[in-house]
């Protein structure tokens, strides 16, 4: 047995309550959970949620994007005087399953990289939008997307923006015959792609894209998440075992391109449970922390519901070698065992709720 001990100061996670609908705020340190504080009617009527993995929380906790049941993107902004989230973009114009916020908006400008679809025009892909208005933000993103190797496919979805704001990552996939749609979970043959990004004072400039992890037959790589140093990317890989789609979590080390499967975040050998949708937490001195959604049993209880788990990653072992650097996962306290949670988001700053 290896004792895993370290500190993290910010223990508030945001996750979907897929059973009852809406977003929940789970406080690991206080061992409590409560609905996201908002006067937004969509939260009350459960239109936020039920679509696993469709919300994103900004690194500073001040912005949230989400997708409604009918597939439209909405955004919320934090209202500090009233300690709640208020609507910015109403979910009635942009069809999008996922988005990622620019973490440097205080020194550049607000922007979010958004996966979108226009069914009537049979087009889909990624766009750069203003998170307050939904209007396009000037950039050369079309040129960057056009430079992706054709072997990865023409579909683009599920973006991430790196912690230091210098890179974006997303999944590229074949979409012949479904050009006007966006996948939510079942992404066919998704390859992980990365591109550098800078801000030139009036527009964002995207550099040459690079395929980080190419898809193998029957597998898909998606939902990238950067650690605080932008040195490693956690991502989810899905495959079908029998008739069941299962997910595992892997790490990509950007210094040498090494892909490291995590035993603690794998699917059960019999595909009874899966572990998906990783998000890096604030690192400690010895360990980094990753939150995932998993259907694994909690002790002797097999709930068959997705719950949030956290596991430690040894930062020294992660930096070199190929040995799995992860430690045993622990169940996040404060969750209800009669609820299915998914897509944990672990911002570096939690708002006062």
Query: Which tokens in the block code for residue 218?
Result: 């029957």
pLDDT confidence of residue 115: 93
pLDDT confidence of residue 253: 97
Query: In CATH, what number does 12-345 get?
Result: 2.120.10.30
pLDDT confidence of residue 80: 92
Give CA–CA dist 307/295, Å, rounded.
Answer: 6
pLDDT confidence of residue 50: 44
Range in 2-11, 14-23, 158-167 with the lowest mean pLDDT: 2-11
Residue 171 main-chain phi, psi, to 5 deg: -110, 130
pLDDT at 266 over 70: no
Residue spans of beta strands (DSSP E) within 227-340? 232-241, 244-253, 258-261, 275-280, 287-294, 307-314, 330-331
Residue 230 has what DSSP assignment? S
Who's near 308: CB < 8 A, 6+ residues apart? 13, 15, 26, 291, 292, 293, 294, 331, 332, 335, 341, 344
Q: Distances from the Cα of 323 to the Cαs of 29, 241, 266, 318, in angstroms?
A: 30, 26, 15, 8
From the centroid of its chain, how far is CA 284? 21
pLDDT confidence of residue 265: 65
Consecutive H or E run containing 74? strand 73-79
Burial class (CB in 10 A: 0-12, 13-18, 19+), 75: buried
As a whole number, the mean pLDDT across the chain is 88
Q: What is the strand order of the sheet 84-89 is part of?
A: 56-57, 63-67, 73-79, 84-89
Q: What is the pLDDT of residues 162-190, one digit of tens each?
A: 999 999 999 999 988 888 888 866 788 99
Q: What is the pLDDT of residues 29-58, one digit of tens each?
A: 899 999 888 866 555 454 554 454 478 999
pLDDT at 320 over 60: yes
Of 339, 315, 335, 333, give the one whose Cα is nearest residue 325.
315
Range in 69-73, 141-145, 304-308 with the lowest mean pLDDT: 69-73
pLDDT exceeding 90 applies to what percent of the chain? 58
Domain ranges of the chain: 12-345
């Amino acid at each position: 047995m290896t004792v895993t001990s370290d500190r993290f100061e910010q223990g508030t996670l945001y996750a979907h309550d897929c059973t009852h609908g809406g977003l929940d705020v789970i406080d690991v340190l206080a061992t409590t959970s409560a609905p996201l504080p908002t006067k937004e009617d969509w939260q009350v009527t459960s239109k936020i949620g039920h679509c696993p993995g469709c919300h994103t929380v900004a690194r500073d906790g001040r912005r949230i994007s989400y997708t409604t049941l009918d597939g439209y993107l909405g955004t919320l902004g934090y209202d500090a005087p009233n300690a709640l989230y208020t609507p910015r973009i109403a979910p009635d114009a942009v069809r999008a399953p996922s988005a990622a916020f620019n973490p440097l908006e205080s020194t550049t400008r607000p922007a979010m990289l958004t996966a979108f679809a226009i069914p009537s025009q049979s087009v889909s892909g990624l766009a750069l939008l203003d998170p307050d208005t939904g209007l396009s933000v000037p950039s050369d993103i079309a040129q960057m997307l056009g430079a992706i190797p054709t072997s990865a496919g023409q579909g683009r979805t599920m973006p991430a923006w790196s912690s230091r704001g210098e890179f974006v990552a997303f999944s590229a996939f074949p979409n012949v015959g479904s050009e006007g749609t966006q996948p939510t979970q079942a992404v066919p043959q998704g390859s992980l792609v990365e591109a550098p990004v800078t801000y030139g004072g009036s527009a964002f400039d995207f550099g040459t894209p690079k395929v980080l992890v190419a898809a193998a037959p029957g597998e898909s790589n998606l939902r990238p998440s950067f650690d605080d140093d932008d040195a490693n990317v956690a991502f989810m890989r899905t495959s079908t075992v029998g008739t069941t789609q299962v997910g595992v979590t892997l790490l990509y080390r950007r210094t040498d391109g090494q892909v490291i499967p995590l035993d603690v975040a794998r699917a059960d050998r019999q595909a009874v449970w899966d572990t998906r949708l990783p998000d890096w937490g604030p690192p400690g001195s010895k360990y980094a922390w990753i939150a995932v959604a998993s259907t694994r049993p909690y002790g002797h209880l097999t709930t068959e519901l997705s719950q949030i788990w956290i596991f430690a990653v040894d930062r020294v072992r992660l930096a070199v070698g190929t040995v799995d650097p992860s430690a045993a996962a622990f169940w996040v306290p404060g969750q209800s065992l009669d609820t299915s949670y998914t897509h944990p988001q672990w911002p570096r700053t939690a708002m006062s709720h």
